[in-house]
Amino acid sequence: MDGYLVGKMPPPWVEWNDQYRDTIRDFWRGQSAGTQTVATRLAGSSDLYADDGRSAYNSVNFVTAHDGFTVRDLVSYDAKHNEANGEDNRDGTDNNRSWNHGAEGETDDPEIRALRRRQAANLMATLCLSNGVPMLTAGDERGRTQGGNNNAYCQDNEISWVDWRPDDAWLDVYEVTKTALRLRREHPALRQRHWFEGRPTIIGGPKDLAWLHPSGREMTDEDWYDAGLRTVGMFVSGKPLRTPGPHGEQQIDSSFLLWFHAGAEPAEVYLPDNDWVSAGAIVLSTDPGLPEGKRVEVGEVLTLGARTVVVMEEAAD
């Protein structure tokens, strides 16, 4: 009775945000009803924590934990495979919100393998760049698998151990995760303590946060209720930040535009003309067609590959 308390603990408690987990899993497997709730989770889950005076740092974001699937298994299995636990596969949750992408378990199909690794990178990049505190499960950044076992507490063997050898590691996912965490560490714009307000932090400045439709306009009420929309852009302004520095000083950082595209087909996104940012450079990408370092200009049209994350940082003129 009253056992589910996510969002209901008093300050200064922080909470594992399983609503973040479920929303982000559903988004990347193509099962979300649009982008409305996805945006709320990306921005720190104010619906859960703002009403009692807590900050986005009270949301411990995660897509996997010590129990349940690993990220690799999340993109490799539709169902749990706990036969080795000795309970006839009855133990462990059935609500995995997972997707095997066309084959159950390990496969030699190169297209399925490539898609799984891109989806794992998407999950890790989304987690590391969402507002709040990211919680990573050891080994997820390099493709650790439990062979589809989602309740491996009783397995003190290769099923549950972390194998640090590079032989079967998903080192491309590791590089994306490392890049995302480096960006987060170096840029306070990507780890803000104050809630976004969707309005300028100074008179005449840009909004601290703006959500962009692929067409380049800001999202409208109708867009938020478009159940078929699988793409959203998140513009985060760094000029200035709403959060002061350690001595109360005004903080200035780069501005960023993050595109999250969960659609099964490529999507064109338009970079809107504005008064604050004229050009940018791609600093993280899970799209092989949009490599890091590529410069982009305002007014340009980018084609995002299917199921990709692309992050652009404001570039000097």
How confident is residue 275, by pLDDT bands cut at 50, 70 and 90?
Answer: confident
Instruction: Note whether 304 and 287 are within 8 A (CB).
Output: yes
Q: What is the reported pLDDT for 296? A: 95
- Rounded to an integer, what distance in angstroms lies between the CA atom of residue 150 and that of residue 90? 11
Q: What is the reported pLDDT for 255? A: 96
Encoded tokens for 72: 């690799």
pLDDT (tens digit per residue) in 57-99: 999 999 999 999 999 999 999 999 999 999 999 999 999 999 9
Residue ranges of E strands in the chain:
15-17, 59-61, 133-134, 209-212, 231-236, 256-261, 267-270, 279-285, 295-297, 301-304, 308-314
How confident is residue 22, by pLDDT bands cut at 50, 70 and 90?
Answer: very high
Q: Percentage of the chain with pLDDT > 90?
A: 88
- Rounded to an integer, what distance in angstroms lies between the CA atom of residue 309 and that of residue 121? 9
pLDDT at residue 311 above 90?
yes
pLDDT at residue 316 above 90?
no
pLDDT (tens digit per residue) in 147-201: 999 999 999 999 999 999 998 999 999 999 999 999 999 999 999 988 999 999 9
Of 221, 186, 210, the residue nearest 277 (C-alpha): 210
pLDDT at residue 20 above 80?
yes
pLDDT (tens digit per residue) in 101-149: 999 999 999 999 999 999 999 999 999 999 999 999 999 999 999 999 9
Residue showing tokens 């993050």? 258
Average pLDDT of the chain is 95
Q: Percentage of the chain with pLDDT > 70?
A: 99
Instruction: Note whether 207 and 234 are within 8 A (CB).
Output: no
Instruction: Note whether 240 and 201 are within 8 A (CB).
Output: yes
What's the average model confidence in pLDDT over 286-292? 97
Handedness of CA 214, 190, 40, 193 (dihedral sign): negative
Handedness of CA 45, 128, 214, 110 (dihedral sign): negative
- Rounded to an integer, what distance in angstroms lies between the CA atom of residue 242 and that of residue 202? 9
User: Which ranges of the chain does DSSP label H, i.e. alpha helix?
Assistant: 18-28, 36-42, 46-49, 71-74, 110-129, 171-186, 221-224
Residue 261, CA distances (Å) to 63, 190, 294 in order: 17, 19, 18
pTM, to two decimals: 0.96
pLDDT at residue 317 above 80?
no
What's the average model confidence in pLDDT over 205-225? 96
Encoded tokens for 294: 């590529």
pLDDT at residue 293 above 90?
yes
Q: What is the reported pLDDT for 159? A: 96
